[in-house]
Amino acid sequence: MTQWNRNTVPKCDVGKYSDEVLVTVEHIGCDGKIYRRVIKAVYYQSHHCTQGWWYEVCDYFDDYSCSEITDRVIAWMELPKPYEPRN
């Protein structure tokens, strides 16, 4: 079982995207409540600074696209391996 990581980012080269991971994002709604959700994302390390950006991966219906995550990313983990039944 893979664990959730906090206060770190996935390893990736400068100017490149990380492998796809699962991230927990946190959003404060209009009603003041905190909402959390888990999404598939990639991390991008900028050329010009030590800061990077998170992008949500949308790969529905064979159409792959990314959009910047504006909510707060609080944790991430590697994607679990697909289930393979034993013979």
Q: Tens-digit pLDDT profile for the chain (87 aa)? A: 568 898 888 888 888 889 999 999 999 999 999 999 999 999 998 766 667 889 998 876 667 788 899 999 999 999 888 888 887
Strands of the sheet containing 34-45, edge to edge, are 65-68, 52-58, 34-45, 21-28, 72-78
- The pLDDT of residue 77: 94
- The pLDDT of residue 49: 60
Task: Check if the beta carbon of residue 14 is closer than 8 Å to that of residue 66.
Answer: no
This prediction's pTM: 0.79
- The pLDDT of residue 66: 83
Within its chain, how far is the Cα of 60 from the centroid? 16
Task: Check if the beta carbon of residue 29 is closer than 8 Å to that of residue 37.
Answer: no
Within its chain, how far is the Cα of 27 from the centroid? 15
